[in-house]
Structure 1
Amino acid sequence: MASHGAERLVVLGDFWHGAEGLTPVLIQAVDGFAQRVPTVLVLGNHDRRIHPPDLPLEVVSTAWVSGPLTAAHEPPPPGAPGFTLAGHWHPAVVIASRAGDRLRRPCFVRYPHALVLPAFGGLTGALTMRRADLARQGAQVAVVGDGELHWLPLRR
Protein backbone atom coordinates (compact mmCIF):
# COMPACT_ATOMS: atom_id res chain seq x y z
CA MET A 1 0.00 0.00 0.00
CA ALA A 2 2.83 2.38 0.76
CA SER A 3 4.24 1.96 -2.74
CA HIS A 4 0.91 3.20 -4.16
CA GLY A 5 0.57 6.12 -1.76
CA ALA A 6 -2.55 4.70 -0.13
CA GLU A 7 -3.63 6.52 3.00
CA ARG A 8 -6.32 4.09 4.15
CA LEU A 9 -7.68 0.59 3.55
CA VAL A 10 -11.45 0.19 3.35
CA VAL A 11 -12.71 -3.40 3.62
CA LEU A 12 -16.10 -3.85 1.92
CA GLY A 13 -17.44 -6.37 4.39
CA ASP A 14 -17.06 -10.03 5.22
CA PHE A 15 -13.57 -9.54 6.60
CA TRP A 16 -14.38 -12.50 8.86
CA HIS A 17 -16.49 -15.37 7.58
CA GLY A 18 -16.79 -17.18 10.88
CA ALA A 19 -15.58 -16.82 14.44
CA GLU A 20 -13.47 -19.97 14.11
CA GLY A 21 -11.32 -18.12 11.57
CA LEU A 22 -10.29 -15.49 14.11
CA THR A 23 -7.06 -17.25 15.04
CA PRO A 24 -4.41 -15.59 17.20
CA VAL A 25 -2.11 -15.39 14.16
CA LEU A 26 -4.76 -13.60 12.08
CA ILE A 27 -5.69 -11.24 14.91
CA GLN A 28 -2.03 -10.33 15.41
CA ALA A 29 -1.54 -9.75 11.66
CA VAL A 30 -4.63 -7.52 11.36
CA ASP A 31 -3.64 -5.61 14.48
CA GLY A 32 -0.11 -5.00 13.17
CA PHE A 33 -1.37 -3.88 9.77
CA ALA A 34 -4.10 -1.62 11.15
CA GLN A 35 -1.57 0.01 13.50
CA ARG A 36 0.37 1.15 10.41
CA VAL A 37 -2.47 1.86 7.96
CA PRO A 38 -5.83 3.35 9.01
CA THR A 39 -8.35 0.61 8.25
CA VAL A 40 -12.12 0.88 7.89
CA LEU A 41 -14.35 -2.19 8.07
CA VAL A 42 -17.80 -1.80 6.50
CA LEU A 43 -19.74 -4.63 8.09
CA GLY A 44 -20.95 -7.35 5.74
CA ASN A 45 -23.55 -10.04 6.23
CA HIS A 46 -20.99 -12.37 7.87
CA ASP A 47 -19.23 -9.71 9.99
CA ARG A 48 -22.46 -8.67 11.68
CA ARG A 49 -22.66 -12.02 13.51
CA ILE A 50 -19.08 -11.97 14.77
CA HIS A 51 -17.65 -9.90 17.58
CA PRO A 52 -13.93 -9.67 16.83
CA PRO A 53 -11.46 -8.75 19.53
CA ASP A 54 -10.58 -5.14 20.14
CA LEU A 55 -8.68 -4.15 17.00
CA PRO A 56 -7.70 -0.68 15.79
CA LEU A 57 -10.38 -0.66 13.07
CA GLU A 58 -12.96 1.98 12.28
CA VAL A 59 -16.11 -0.15 12.05
CA VAL A 60 -19.20 1.20 10.24
CA SER A 61 -22.51 -0.62 9.95
CA THR A 62 -23.66 0.12 6.40
CA ALA A 63 -21.44 2.55 4.48
CA TRP A 64 -18.35 4.72 4.70
CA VAL A 65 -18.48 7.99 2.75
CA SER A 66 -15.55 10.05 1.50
CA GLY A 67 -16.61 12.98 -0.66
CA PRO A 68 -18.58 11.69 -3.65
CA LEU A 69 -17.51 8.07 -3.05
CA THR A 70 -19.39 5.57 -0.88
CA ALA A 71 -17.95 2.23 0.23
CA ALA A 72 -20.62 -0.37 1.07
CA HIS A 73 -20.94 -4.12 1.35
CA GLU A 74 -23.96 -4.39 -0.93
CA PRO A 75 -24.34 -2.52 -4.22
CA PRO A 76 -27.00 0.20 -4.24
CA PRO A 77 -30.08 0.02 -6.46
CA PRO A 78 -29.85 1.48 -9.98
CA GLY A 79 -30.16 5.24 -10.02
CA ALA A 80 -28.71 5.71 -6.55
CA PRO A 81 -26.94 9.07 -6.17
CA GLY A 82 -23.16 9.30 -6.13
CA PHE A 83 -20.84 6.39 -6.83
CA THR A 84 -20.44 3.27 -4.67
CA LEU A 85 -17.69 0.66 -4.39
CA ALA A 86 -19.25 -2.62 -3.23
CA GLY A 87 -18.51 -6.29 -2.70
CA HIS A 88 -20.97 -8.97 -1.50
CA TRP A 89 -21.80 -10.53 -4.89
CA HIS A 90 -18.29 -11.87 -5.57
CA PRO A 91 -19.09 -11.55 -9.30
CA ALA A 92 -17.65 -13.90 -11.91
CA VAL A 93 -18.17 -14.38 -15.65
CA VAL A 94 -17.74 -17.31 -17.97
CA ILE A 95 -15.40 -16.80 -20.91
CA ALA A 96 -15.84 -19.31 -23.74
CA SER A 97 -13.58 -19.95 -26.70
CA ARG A 98 -14.79 -20.76 -30.19
CA ALA A 99 -13.54 -24.30 -29.57
CA GLY A 100 -15.93 -24.66 -26.64
CA ASP A 101 -13.44 -24.26 -23.81
CA ARG A 102 -14.94 -22.44 -20.82
CA LEU A 103 -13.22 -20.49 -18.06
CA ARG A 104 -14.96 -18.92 -15.06
CA ARG A 105 -13.13 -15.85 -13.73
CA PRO A 106 -13.77 -13.31 -10.97
CA CYS A 107 -14.75 -9.99 -12.52
CA PHE A 108 -15.31 -6.32 -11.84
CA VAL A 109 -18.83 -5.13 -12.75
CA ARG A 110 -19.09 -1.42 -13.54
CA TYR A 111 -22.47 0.30 -13.53
CA PRO A 112 -23.03 4.06 -13.98
CA HIS A 113 -23.60 4.32 -10.19
CA ALA A 114 -21.37 1.55 -8.78
CA LEU A 115 -18.35 -0.71 -9.15
CA VAL A 116 -18.80 -4.21 -7.72
CA LEU A 117 -15.45 -5.74 -6.82
CA PRO A 118 -14.59 -9.43 -7.19
CA ALA A 119 -13.37 -11.75 -4.47
CA PHE A 120 -10.18 -13.67 -5.12
CA GLY A 121 -10.01 -15.88 -2.01
CA GLY A 122 -9.99 -19.63 -2.43
CA LEU A 123 -13.00 -20.14 -0.17
CA THR A 124 -15.14 -17.14 -1.11
CA GLY A 125 -17.28 -18.58 -3.88
CA ALA A 126 -18.67 -16.43 -6.68
CA LEU A 127 -21.92 -15.42 -8.33
CA THR A 128 -21.79 -16.09 -12.06
CA MET A 129 -23.16 -13.04 -13.84
CA ARG A 130 -24.89 -13.51 -17.20
CA ARG A 131 -23.20 -11.26 -19.74
CA ALA A 132 -26.41 -10.61 -21.68
CA ASP A 133 -28.15 -9.47 -18.47
CA LEU A 134 -25.23 -7.18 -17.64
CA ALA A 135 -25.37 -5.66 -21.13
CA ARG A 136 -29.10 -4.96 -20.74
CA GLN A 137 -28.35 -3.24 -17.41
CA GLY A 138 -25.76 -0.98 -19.04
CA ALA A 139 -22.88 -2.60 -17.16
CA GLN A 140 -19.28 -3.12 -18.19
CA VAL A 141 -17.22 -6.14 -17.13
CA ALA A 142 -13.49 -6.62 -16.67
CA VAL A 143 -11.39 -9.61 -15.63
CA VAL A 144 -7.80 -9.65 -14.40
CA GLY A 145 -5.24 -11.45 -16.54
CA ASP A 146 -1.49 -11.09 -16.85
CA GLY A 147 -1.55 -8.39 -14.17
CA GLU A 148 -3.96 -6.05 -15.94
CA LEU A 149 -7.68 -5.50 -16.50
CA HIS A 150 -9.27 -6.81 -19.68
CA TRP A 151 -12.67 -5.33 -20.55
CA LEU A 152 -14.97 -7.90 -22.10
CA PRO A 153 -17.45 -7.31 -24.89
CA LEU A 154 -21.06 -7.72 -23.82
CA ARG A 155 -23.86 -8.60 -26.21
CA ARG A 156 -27.54 -8.09 -25.49
Structure 2
Amino acid sequence: MTIICKGEELILSKERAIYWAAQKMLIISDLHIGKSAHFRKHGIQVPAGIGDSDLQRLAGLIDLYDPQTLLITGDMFHHKSNSEVTAFSEWRKRFSKLKFLLIKGNHDQLSPLEYASLNIELIQKELSCTPFRFIHETPESTDASYPISGHIHPGVTLYGKARQRLTFPCFYFGENYAVLPAFSAFTGLSKIQPQKNDRFYAITPSGVIAV
Protein backbone atom coordinates (compact mmCIF):
# COMPACT_ATOMS: atom_id res chain seq x y z
CA MET A 1 0.00 0.00 0.00
CA THR A 2 1.25 3.47 -0.88
CA ILE A 3 0.42 6.41 1.40
CA ILE A 4 1.34 10.08 1.57
CA CYS A 5 2.84 11.24 4.87
CA LYS A 6 4.05 14.82 5.33
CA GLY A 7 4.11 15.21 1.56
CA GLU A 8 6.28 12.13 1.03
CA GLU A 9 5.23 8.92 -0.72
CA LEU A 10 5.83 5.83 1.39
CA ILE A 11 5.26 2.22 0.36
CA LEU A 12 4.02 0.03 3.23
CA SER A 13 5.05 -3.56 2.65
CA LYS A 14 3.25 -6.58 4.05
CA GLU A 15 6.74 -7.79 5.01
CA ARG A 16 6.68 -5.15 7.77
CA ALA A 17 8.84 -2.52 6.11
CA ILE A 18 8.58 0.93 4.54
CA TYR A 19 10.23 1.87 1.29
CA TRP A 20 10.87 5.59 0.82
CA ALA A 21 11.56 5.79 -2.90
CA ALA A 22 12.62 9.45 -2.94
CA GLN A 23 15.53 8.58 -0.65
CA LYS A 24 16.04 5.05 -1.98
CA MET A 25 15.73 3.96 1.65
CA LEU A 26 14.28 0.75 3.08
CA ILE A 27 13.16 1.22 6.69
CA ILE A 28 12.50 -1.49 9.28
CA SER A 29 12.51 -1.84 13.06
CA ASP A 30 13.04 -4.52 15.71
CA LEU A 31 14.74 -7.25 13.71
CA HIS A 32 16.01 -8.84 16.95
CA ILE A 33 18.77 -10.95 15.42
CA GLY A 34 19.95 -13.51 17.96
CA LYS A 35 16.75 -13.56 20.04
CA SER A 36 15.90 -17.23 19.58
CA ALA A 37 19.53 -18.31 20.17
CA HIS A 38 19.61 -16.15 23.32
CA PHE A 39 16.44 -17.84 24.62
CA ARG A 40 17.74 -21.33 23.86
CA LYS A 41 20.99 -20.54 25.65
CA HIS A 42 18.94 -19.84 28.77
CA GLY A 43 16.94 -23.06 28.52
CA ILE A 44 13.82 -21.66 26.85
CA GLN A 45 12.85 -23.90 23.95
CA VAL A 46 11.94 -21.86 20.88
CA PRO A 47 11.96 -22.98 17.24
CA ALA A 48 15.24 -22.74 15.37
CA GLY A 49 15.27 -21.02 12.00
CA ILE A 50 13.20 -17.96 12.95
CA GLY A 51 16.17 -15.68 12.41
CA ASP A 52 16.93 -17.29 9.04
CA SER A 53 13.34 -16.72 7.93
CA ASP A 54 13.50 -13.04 8.90
CA LEU A 55 16.74 -12.57 6.96
CA GLN A 56 15.23 -14.31 3.92
CA ARG A 57 12.31 -11.87 4.01
CA LEU A 58 14.71 -8.95 4.34
CA ALA A 59 16.80 -10.21 1.43
CA GLY A 60 13.64 -10.40 -0.68
CA LEU A 61 12.82 -6.77 0.09
CA ILE A 62 16.34 -5.64 -0.77
CA ASP A 63 16.18 -7.53 -4.07
CA LEU A 64 12.74 -6.06 -4.80
CA TYR A 65 13.42 -2.39 -4.06
CA ASP A 66 17.20 -2.20 -4.61
CA PRO A 67 17.67 0.51 -1.95
CA GLN A 68 20.85 2.47 -1.37
CA THR A 69 20.29 2.51 2.40
CA LEU A 70 18.75 0.14 4.93
CA LEU A 71 17.68 2.03 8.04
CA ILE A 72 16.85 0.06 11.20
CA THR A 73 15.12 2.11 13.90
CA GLY A 74 16.53 0.11 16.79
CA ASP A 75 16.79 -3.42 18.18
CA MET A 76 18.48 -4.89 15.15
CA PHE A 77 20.12 -7.31 17.58
CA HIS A 78 18.49 -8.79 20.64
CA HIS A 79 21.42 -9.00 23.03
CA LYS A 80 25.11 -9.78 22.68
CA SER A 81 26.88 -11.74 19.96
CA ASN A 82 25.81 -15.37 19.47
CA SER A 83 25.49 -17.96 16.69
CA GLU A 84 22.74 -16.02 14.89
CA VAL A 85 24.89 -12.88 14.79
CA THR A 86 27.65 -15.01 13.25
CA ALA A 87 25.19 -16.25 10.62
CA PHE A 88 24.14 -12.65 9.94
CA SER A 89 27.76 -11.66 9.29
CA GLU A 90 27.83 -14.17 6.43
CA TRP A 91 24.43 -12.97 5.14
CA ARG A 92 25.70 -9.37 5.25
CA LYS A 93 28.41 -10.14 2.68
CA ARG A 94 25.70 -10.67 0.07
CA PHE A 95 24.77 -6.98 0.40
CA SER A 96 28.23 -5.53 1.01
CA LYS A 97 27.50 -2.39 -1.06
CA LEU A 98 24.28 -1.58 0.80
CA LYS A 99 24.61 1.07 3.50
CA PHE A 100 23.29 -0.12 6.88
CA LEU A 101 22.26 2.54 9.41
CA LEU A 102 21.23 1.42 12.89
CA ILE A 103 19.67 3.74 15.44
CA LYS A 104 20.71 2.12 18.70
CA GLY A 105 17.85 0.43 20.55
CA ASN A 106 17.63 -0.81 24.12
CA HIS A 107 18.51 -4.37 23.03
CA ASP A 108 21.47 -3.44 20.81
CA GLN A 109 24.40 -4.50 23.00
CA LEU A 110 27.16 -5.42 20.56
CA SER A 111 30.49 -3.64 20.96
CA PRO A 112 31.51 -0.76 18.66
CA LEU A 113 34.10 -3.05 17.07
CA GLU A 114 31.44 -5.67 16.31
CA TYR A 115 29.20 -3.13 14.58
CA ALA A 116 32.18 -1.94 12.55
CA SER A 117 33.09 -5.50 11.57
CA LEU A 118 29.52 -6.00 10.31
CA ASN A 119 29.76 -2.79 8.26
CA ILE A 120 26.94 -1.16 10.22
CA GLU A 121 26.95 2.55 11.01
CA LEU A 122 25.66 3.01 14.55
CA ILE A 123 23.61 6.12 15.39
CA GLN A 124 23.31 6.69 19.11
CA LYS A 125 19.99 8.50 19.34
CA GLU A 126 18.18 9.66 16.20
CA LEU A 127 18.49 10.47 12.52
CA SER A 128 16.93 13.58 10.98
CA CYS A 129 15.91 13.21 7.35
CA THR A 130 13.45 15.98 6.49
CA PRO A 131 10.50 15.85 7.05
CA PHE A 132 11.06 12.85 9.32
CA ARG A 133 13.02 12.14 12.49
CA PHE A 134 13.85 8.47 12.99
CA ILE A 135 14.19 7.30 16.59
CA HIS A 136 13.86 4.00 18.46
CA GLU A 137 11.37 4.80 21.24
CA THR A 138 8.28 6.98 20.97
CA PRO A 139 9.49 10.55 21.64
CA GLU A 140 8.33 12.34 24.76
CA SER A 141 8.12 15.64 22.89
CA THR A 142 7.67 16.63 19.26
CA ASP A 143 8.98 19.45 17.10
CA ALA A 144 8.70 20.49 13.46
CA SER A 145 9.87 17.06 12.27
CA TYR A 146 7.63 13.99 12.24
CA PRO A 147 9.09 11.16 14.36
CA ILE A 148 9.00 7.57 13.12
CA SER A 149 9.91 4.98 15.76
CA GLY A 150 9.68 1.30 16.60
CA HIS A 151 10.16 -0.46 19.96
CA ILE A 152 6.56 -1.19 21.00
CA HIS A 153 5.60 -3.69 18.24
CA PRO A 154 2.17 -2.20 17.47
CA GLY A 155 -0.83 -4.39 16.74
CA VAL A 156 -4.47 -3.82 15.84
CA THR A 157 -7.51 -6.07 16.33
CA LEU A 158 -9.98 -6.67 13.51
CA TYR A 159 -13.50 -7.96 14.14
CA GLY A 160 -15.53 -10.17 11.80
CA LYS A 161 -19.28 -10.36 11.26
CA ALA A 162 -19.55 -13.55 13.33
CA ARG A 163 -17.69 -12.01 16.28
CA GLN A 164 -14.35 -13.32 15.10
CA ARG A 165 -11.43 -11.38 16.48
CA LEU A 166 -7.92 -11.43 15.05
CA THR A 167 -4.95 -9.25 16.01
CA PHE A 168 -2.35 -8.33 13.41
CA PRO A 169 0.87 -6.31 13.42
CA CYS A 170 0.34 -2.85 11.99
CA PHE A 171 1.79 0.45 10.89
CA TYR A 172 0.57 3.32 13.06
CA PHE A 173 0.47 6.91 11.81
CA GLY A 174 -0.77 9.36 14.41
CA GLU A 175 -1.03 13.12 14.29
CA ASN A 176 2.32 13.61 16.00
CA TYR A 177 4.34 10.46 15.26
CA ALA A 178 4.38 7.06 13.56
CA VAL A 179 5.36 3.59 14.81
CA LEU A 180 6.70 0.77 12.67
CA PRO A 181 5.73 -2.87 13.19
CA ALA A 182 8.40 -5.22 14.47
CA PHE A 183 10.13 -6.81 11.48
CA SER A 184 10.85 -10.04 13.35
CA ALA A 185 8.10 -12.63 13.43
CA PHE A 186 9.29 -13.64 16.92
CA THR A 187 7.75 -10.72 18.84
CA GLY A 188 4.59 -9.92 20.75
CA LEU A 189 2.14 -7.13 19.94
CA SER A 190 1.11 -4.01 21.84
CA LYS A 191 -2.20 -2.33 21.13
CA ILE A 192 -2.17 1.45 20.73
CA GLN A 193 -5.12 3.39 22.08
CA PRO A 194 -6.43 5.22 19.00
CA GLN A 195 -6.86 8.98 18.99
CA LYS A 196 -8.77 11.20 16.60
CA ASN A 197 -7.37 11.17 13.04
CA ASP A 198 -5.02 8.22 13.76
CA ARG A 199 -4.38 5.87 10.85
CA PHE A 200 -3.77 2.15 11.28
CA TYR A 201 -2.63 -0.17 8.49
CA ALA A 202 -3.01 -3.82 9.44
CA ILE A 203 -0.60 -6.40 8.02
CA THR A 204 -2.73 -9.41 7.12
CA PRO A 205 -1.70 -12.58 5.27
CA SER A 206 -3.15 -11.13 2.07
CA GLY A 207 -1.59 -7.70 2.34
CA VAL A 208 -1.71 -4.30 4.03
CA ILE A 209 -5.17 -2.84 4.64
CA ALA A 210 -6.33 0.48 6.07
CA VAL A 211 -8.35 0.01 9.25
Q: What's the TM-score, normalizing by structure 1? A: 0.80
The 1:139/1:69 distance shift into structure 2, 3 A limit, reads: same
Superposition CA RMSD, Å = 2.2
1:4-153 matched pairs, under 5 angstroms: 4-19=65-80, 20=82, 22-33=84-95, 35-47=96-108, 49-51=109-111, 53=114, 54-77=117-140, 79-129=142-192, 133-136=193-196, 138-145=197-204, 148-152=207-211
Deviation (angstroms), 1:5: 4.8
Q: Which runs of 4+ in 1 moved over 6 A?
A: none
5+ long unaligned stretches in structure 1: none
> In structure 2, do the counterparts of structure 1 residues 2 and 66 end up closer, same or farther at CA, with 3 Å as the change threshold?
farther
After TM superposition, the score normalised by the length of structure 2 is: 0.61
Between 21-30 and 57-66, the greater mean CA deviation after superposition: 21-30
Structure with larger RCO (C-alpha < 8 A, sep 6+): 2
Q: Which residue pairs with 2:45 in the alignment?
A: none
Cα offsets for 1:28-75 (capped at 9, x unmatched): 213542x2211100000100x332722211101110122322111112
Q: Which ranges in structure 2 are unaligned for 5 or more consecutive residues?
A: 1-61
Q: How many residues align?
A: 146
